[in-house]
Amino acid sequence: MKYLLCFLLLISASSGQAATLLVLGDSLSAAYGMEAEKGWVNIFQKKCDNDCQIINGSVSGETTAGGLARLPALLREHRPDYVLIELGGNDGLRGYSIATMSKNLRKIIELSRKHQSKPLLFSMQIPANYGKRYTERFRQAYPKLAAQQQIPLIPFIFEDIMLQPEMVMQDGIHPTEAAQPLIAEKMMDQLLPILNGTQAADIQAK
């Protein structure tokens, strides 16, 4: 089924070529602490084979401001069909303003649309020791923004993974190499149906 969905991405690209997905993320998508080929993004690409192209524009330590600054060049170079926005975790870990973070994410969404790319927002979470009020406001920022912008929201898939000691690095934040295949599997479960469903809706609207 997953390979069928990945094949459907192929026919969704307006050029008739494999659809492209730009992952604009931080260390969770940048294969932090391991070789790039061991990360979930590369595993995702291998499972899709030639039916979809995944471009990893992720940088460890990246913030929403940094991602916003880098995005124009990435959009011009790759012209992706979709942009997965996996940012905000480092904003939260550094205690940055949630209003500013949300503003940056909104600008990333708007910029993606301006370049004819469909934005997808990944819901981030931070440890509870940042205080109940800040942590809850941070968590709520993602579904609120996704609803306002009417874009798909990818749920935070790391909760179960972070409960398994062998899946988490000693810092208690970053997933290990052993966790990457599971992350890729969960990402495929979330992304492929959404991408296919989004394209189907567009076709029906024409």
Q: Which two tokens stand for residue 44?
A: 């995702």
Measure Cα distances from 112 to 30, 65, 75 in Å.
20, 15, 7
79-96 average pLDDT score = 97
Residue 41 has pLDDT above 60, yes or no: yes
| Model pTM score | 0.86
Domains in the chain (CATH in brackets) are 18-195 (3.40.50.1110)
Q: What is the mean pLDDT of the chain?
A: 87
Judged by phi (left if over 0) then psi (alpha if -120 to 50, else beta), residue 48 lies in: alpha
pLDDT digits (tens, 9 = 90+) for 112-158: 999 999 999 999 999 888 999 999 999 999 999 999 999 999 999 99
Lowest mean pLDDT among 24-28, 46-50, 58-62, 174-178: 46-50
Percent share of the chain, pLDDT over 90: 74
pLDDT digits (tens, 9 = 90+) for 159-201: 888 889 999 999 989 999 999 999 999 999 998 877 665 443 3
Q: How many CB atoms lie within 10 A of CB 11?
A: 14
pLDDT band at 88 (very low <50, low <70, confident <90, very high): very high
Give the catalytic positions in this structure.
27, 171, 174
